[in-house]
Amino acid sequence: MTSELIIGNAGKAGRISLNRPKAIHALTTAMCTGILETLEAWRGDAEVEIVMFDHAEGRGFCAGGDIRMLAESGAKDGAEARHFFHTEYRMNHRLFTYAKPTVAFMDGITMGGGVGIAMPCRYRIATENTRFAMPETGIGLFPDVGGGWHLSRLPGRTGQFLALTGARLDGAECLALGIATHYLPAEALEEAKARIAADPQRIDGILGQLAVAPPPARIEDSRAQIDRLFASDRLEDIYAALEADDGEWAAKELATLKTKSPQTMKVSLRLLREGAGMQDFADEMRQEYAVGCHVVQRHDFLEGVRAVIIDKDNAPKWNPDTPEGVTDHMLDTIFAPLPADEAWTPA
């Protein structure tokens, strides 16, 4: 088992702690494999009544996936990137369908791959340290790990807003939108874990006792604007709505969108539109895998990683560089299903 995970039993709980502090616990293929194998082992273990996810030392739960590896693979044959996506999405699906209760402690940065672990969990704990985001369009990627399913089921158009802008939410905002199920002070987490491990059957009461009233959720002040200005599934319409609004908020969000990849913003809107109608999470993962395999080898992802992560000039040259330049044919190519022998399958 990889040392990038700390796995053990605590009372009646199984505990998986992400352990790559220098990378804010970003997921590797080995970590996803380790989580998959552990969940399978605990599935029939009567001594494990509940599974808890948290992180070892450091300032975040999980900052995402191994983006540099994905880009290096995408620049070649893409095989390593496909293997990572296939394994990670199997982990996401297993969590989504897991019979035993699962708990994610989203204390600190929770982005990308961390969202993919947390969102399928039955209990999702936010704190004053939580910083939740799906910022993928800023590097020419899209909110995967089930993003098309989870974001499309948030209230109003908040999911579309988060997918396009990569906006960061704090713990109070996560609770208000239903991303988190409970809001606890960070100082209460160790007590919560100990009490849950001692008596998993009482988890609802334990979390209820330790929860505190969060501060006001700032996103509530913008909900009407989000629902109105991000109402369309056409990126051009959203740009037009923001341009026609003379408010400061609209101007700021339009400026944000203009830094993102037009291609993967359109991919994100289509993913959420189609994800909203899916009945089976496995279908979502199958679609996201096909899209991911295509996107990871396209110009915008390689250029986005260069600009944001490698050279850090934060000046990506997107191609196409406008929403109008991203054609329906281009999107159809990205969303094309893979051949049956290459398609994603559940574990």
**Taking residues 242-262, what's their average pLDDT?**
98
**Taking residues 264-275, what's their average pLDDT?**
98
* Backbone Cα Rg of the chain: 20
Flag whether pLDDT at 240 surpasses 70. Answer: yes
Please give the residue that has the higher pLDDT: either 197 or 71.
Answer: 197
Residue 119 Cα to chain centre, angstroms? 8
132: left (phi over 0), alpha (psi -120 to 50) or beta: beta
Q: Specify the 3-state DSSP secondary structure of 54.
A: strand
| pLDDT more than 70, % of the chain | 99
Specify whether the CB–CB gap between 263 and 316 falls below 8 A.
no
Q: Which of 34, 64, 108, 113 is catalytic?
A: 113
DSSP run (H or E) holding 40: helix 29-43
166 is catalytic: no
**What pLDDT is attached to residue 333?**
97
Q: Which of 49, 54, 66, 144 is catalytic?
A: 144
Q: Which of 34, 60, 65, 171 is catalytic?
A: 65
Specify whether the CB–CB gap between 110 and 132 falls below 8 A.
yes
**What pLDDT is attached to residue 62?**
96
Flag whether pLDDT at 126 surpasses 90. Answer: yes
**What pLDDT is attached to residue 58?**
81
**What pLDDT is attached to residue 300?**
97
- Dig out the tokens for 246 from the structure: 């003379």
Strand partners, 5: 18
DSSP run (H or E) holding 6: strand 5-10
Average pLDDT of the chain, as a whole number: 96
Flag whether pLDDT at 1 surpasses 60. Answer: no
**Taking residues 179-191, what's their average pLDDT?**
98
Buried b (16+ CB within 10 A) or exposed e, 175-212: bbbebbbbbbebebbeebbebbbeebeebeebbeebbe
**What pLDDT is attached to residue 59?**
83
Flag whether pLDDT at 272 surpasses 90. Answer: yes
200: left (phi over 0), alpha (psi -120 to 50) or beta: alpha
* Of the candidate ranges 67-76, 80-89, 120-129, 301-310, the one whose mean pLDDT is the lowest: 67-76
Flag whether pLDDT at 2 surpasses 70. Answer: no
Residue whose token pair is 């399913």: 149
65 is catalytic: yes
- Dig out the tokens for 303 from the structure: 């250029």
**What pLDDT is attached to residue 316?**
97
Residue 281 pLDDT grade (very low, low, confident, very high; cuts 50, 70, 90): very high
113 is catalytic: yes
**What pLDDT is attached to residue 179?**
98
> Does the domain spanning 5-334 belong to CATH 3.90.870.10?
no
Q: Which of 136, 170, 253, 284 is catalytic?
A: 136
Q: Omega into 320 within 30° of 0, i.e. cis?
A: yes
Flag whether pLDDT at 296 surpasses 60. Answer: yes
**Taking residues 206-221, what's their average pLDDT?**
98
